[in-house]
Structure 1
Amino acid sequence: MSANPFQVEPGPVLSKRSLNRALLERQMLIQRKQMSALEAIEHLVGLQAQAPNPPYIGLWARLADFQQAELSKLIQSRQAVRIALMRSTIHLVSSRDCLALRPLLQPVLERGLRGSYGKHLTAIDQEALSAAGRALVEERPRTFQEISALLAEDERWRDLDPSAIANIVRTHIPLVQVPPRGLWGESGQAAHTSAETWLGTGLSVDCSVDSSIETIIERYLAAFGPATVQDMQAWSGLTKLNGVISLMRPRLRIFRDEHGKEVFDLPDAPLPDPDAPISAKFMAEFDNALLSHADRSRIISEDDRKRVFTINGIIRSTFLIDGFVQGMWKITKERDTATLVIDPFRPLSKKDKTELAAEGVNLLTFAAGEFAVHNIRINEPLS
């Protein structure tokens, strides 16, 4: 029987280590880059940012000579903003990406709203509620508590769950968190206004950013690839991307992973030596390098994922040994002393401990420079 002329030949196989090294190179985690914070934020298509400080740690891990003031200035000058985007989670992105990405990711937010508050949405005029919410936040920035309380004064929404009110507004109005939220070391509740008011322009008007889904996928691959369609969907929250990839196939490289799944990549994207040595690296909470694939085994094992990803949505700070998550870390502060506490999941070699201690000194200098005394404690393995 003759071969089927339309059969797609299986692509070359990429091992887990090959995928790991490619991810780390594109995430700027093999070697720190000489790049501005704004350029890095755009290359990474944003940084997940539920908490204010993790994006600073994430950029410190990736950029040479990065200091907190650089990112704080971007936020204060409105060149970078905090807004719900991929996976309906708060991301720190450039103002250009805010304008371009939010309309394309609107279906993700709407699906999340239906999943969480479906029973509360029946018979609600969401358009009217959102318009009233927009008027409030464009009058002045407001917290979700303020938004819900003020809108509940209207008899139309008096009996609604306050969290449903806030999330309806959050879904239909592109809300950005205004400073001091997002500035290094600042605390307090997030106050919101509309992206249009904050940035002085409407969504999708910045023609210097191509806002097509295909371009988003290309940018994802440049920062997180190679990847399966399922990976792309896990990162973005978008669904039904198989059709888009079918159109893109002629201009993509196609590989297979160790399980036989198709893995797509840009034709000129780097694929480092899978055995290239990588020094120890500290990762921020909520780091997208751990969150942006359906199959996360290229950087963290399933057993370790269960330790790092908590049931209440916290993604703990981790460290990498040979490019893979091997434990967690935190900084405790008492009086004039800051202590970096390192909790390995399994025994570390002397070389690993030496590398962690050396990089730990740099981490403490960056994250706790105001403390007079710095200590590093490596605990016994958790298993």
Structure 2
Amino acid sequence: MPEVLDARALNRATLARQLLLDRADLPVLDAVTHLCGLQAQEPQEPFVGLWSRLRAFDPAALSDLLTGRRVVRTHLMRRTVHLVTSDDLLAWRTRHDAMLRQRVLGVYRTELDGVDLGELAAAGRAVMADGEPRSMPELARAVAGRWPEPGVRALGEMLVAALIPMVQLPPRGVWRVKAGVRNVPVSSWLGREPDPPAPDGDPVGETLVRRYLAAYGPAATADLRAWSGLAGLPAAVAAIRDELVSFRDERGRELLDLPGAPRPDPDTPAPVRFLPAFDNAILGYHDRGRIIDDEHRGLSVAGERVVLVDGRVSATWTVRDGVVATTPLRKFTRAEEAAVAGEERKLTAFLSGGDDQPTA
């Protein structure tokens, strides 16, 4: 019988994979690669996500990667904006195309009824061929004369989030810079189109399974779907199953993992960690019980920033007058209060430009 991993064992495994058990001595690019990207709907949130995961994190390093075209902001997993490496975007985007179209249609099916998506894509590409960055409404208005019925929002969402692989240009997403969304095709920004589909099998899907388990495992196939938004990965899982090890959770679900991946002792102490809005350490699972209680699950999709205490969501946090402030979701011990207060001070210093960098 496969070994059963309880919620605490899964929690500590998640923290280790997500670089939240011990801050990592990794270059920023390597961290973004390991995490398979960071949720980036809110442009400044990835900086907090990396501050909580890396020792002596310098936000300028991430800004430089954005302006240097090594990382990009784009619609990808779950049709949400992610910060991913340019290499991963080029390798993964085509595998996500069908999912992206279906998710936009799930919202705008009525509005887009009768619109030939191939023709719409061609029209949008023709507009963007001049190399000029455009906002979603600007691109939609440029083609709306041919398709007046759907409306600007539906046309724009389909073009920018699905039909044309796009990136959001800096300074959007640069540290402490507020900027609107300006889109250009991936081919313009990175110099080539995303990789075409493989002629045989699903090598990209197999890579996604391995990479997901390295950053999120042990996990069920439902968790993999919840993270990626992709429904068509069972064949990829089946193709590499011989490489994987199997466990069960307390509900009897099969959990898959990489053989040598970290699975710390459940009694390993977990430090206080502040997570940004929509962090994938929570959203990257179908069953989020390993890190957040059911009664607080709504926080994870409401954009609340949360605090992990003993590895679990135990408070929310905001910034008031430049100072980080927490609101507990349960009663803390004195030791927990002290640990939270200490991390509050460090995060306040980081956000205000101070030199107080975390080392543990």
> TM-score range with shorter-chain normalisation?
over 0.9
Q: Which moved more, 1:160-169 or 1:33-42?
A: 160-169
Query: 1:368 aligned to 2:358?
Result: no
Shift of 1:360: 1.2
Q: Secondary structure at the match of 2:5?
A: coil
Contact between 1:101 and 1:211, CA under 8 Å: does it hold in 2? no
Q: Match for residue 101 of structure 1? A: 92
Contact between 2:78 and 2:229, CA under 8 Å: does it hold in 1? yes
CA distance in 2, matches of 1:355, 1:82: 33
What pairs up with 1:148-167 in 2 under 5 angstroms? 148-152=140-144, 154=145, 156-167=146-157
Q: Which amino acid aligns with 1:65?
A: A
Contact between 2:29 and 2:65, CA under 8 Å: does it hold in 1? yes
CA distance in 1, matches of 2:296, 2:249: 21
Q: Which moved more, 1:105-114 or 1:230-239?
A: 105-114
Shift of 1:160: 2.3
TM-score when normalising by structure 2: 0.93
Q: Match for residue 182 of structure 1? A: 173
Q: Percent identity?
A: 40
- Partner residue of 1:69 out of 39, 49, 60: 60
Q: Match for residue 258 of structure 1? A: 250
Query: 1:330 aligned to 2:314?
Result: no
Map Cα deviations across residues 160-218 of structure 1 (whole Å, 9 max, x no partner): 2111110221211001000111111222320000001100112117x9xx952011100
Contact between 1:137 and 1:192, CA under 8 Å: does it hold in 2? no
TM-score when normalising by structure 1: 0.88
Query: 1:345 aligned to 2:329?
Result: yes
CA distance in 1, matches of 2:249, 2:172: 41
Map Cα deviations across residues 267-304 of structure 1 (whole Å, 9 max, x no partner): 11111000101111111111100101110000001101
Q: Secondary structure at the match of 1:119?
A: coil
Query: 1:38 aligned to 2:29?
Result: yes
CA distance in 2, matches of 1:234, 1:18: 21
Q: Match for residue 375 of structure 1? A: none
> How many pairs are equivalent?
350
CA distance in 1, matches of 2:215, 2:153: 34
Query: 1:23 aligned to 2:14?
Result: yes
Query: 1:219 aligned to 2:211?
Result: yes
Shift of 1:137: 3.0
Query: 1:236 aligned to 2:220?
Result: no
Q: Which amino acid aligns with 1:26?
A: R
CA distance in 2, matches of 1:277, 1:125: 56
Q: Which amino acid aligns with 1:220?
A: Y
What pairs up with 1:5-154 in 2 under 5 angstroms? 10-139=1-130, 140-152=132-144, 154=145
Q: Match for residue 377 of structure 1? A: none
Q: Which moved more, 1:175-184 or 1:138-147?
A: 138-147
- CA radius of gyration, larger in: 1
Q: Secondary structure at the match of 2:274?
A: strand
Shift of 1:308: 4.2
Map Cα deviations across residues 79-134 of structure 1 (whole Å, 9 max, x no partner): 00001111011100011001011111112101102211111222212222222222
What pairs up with 1:183-332 in 2 under 5 angstroms? 183-204=174-195, 212-310=204-302, 315-332=303-320
Contact between 1:25 and 1:272, CA under 8 Å: does it hold in 2? yes
Contact between 2:283 and 2:300, CA under 8 Å: does it hold in 1? no
Q: Match for residue 358 of structure 1? A: 342
CA distance in 2, matches of 1:20, 1:137: 45
Q: Which amino acid aligns with 1:226?
A: P
Contact between 1:308 and 1:328, CA under 8 Å: does it hold in 2? no
Q: Secondary structure at the match of 2:82?
A: strand
Contact between 1:255 and 1:262, CA under 8 Å: does it hold in 2? yes
CA distance in 2, matches of 1:308, 1:21: 19
Map Cα deviations across residues 35-57 of structure 1 (whole Å, 9 max, x no partner): 11100000000001011101111
Contact between 1:227 and 1:265, CA under 8 Å: does it hold in 2? yes
Q: Which amino acid aligns with 2:333?
A: S
Q: Match for residue 358 of structure 2? A: none
CA distance in 2, matches of 1:82, 1:48: 9
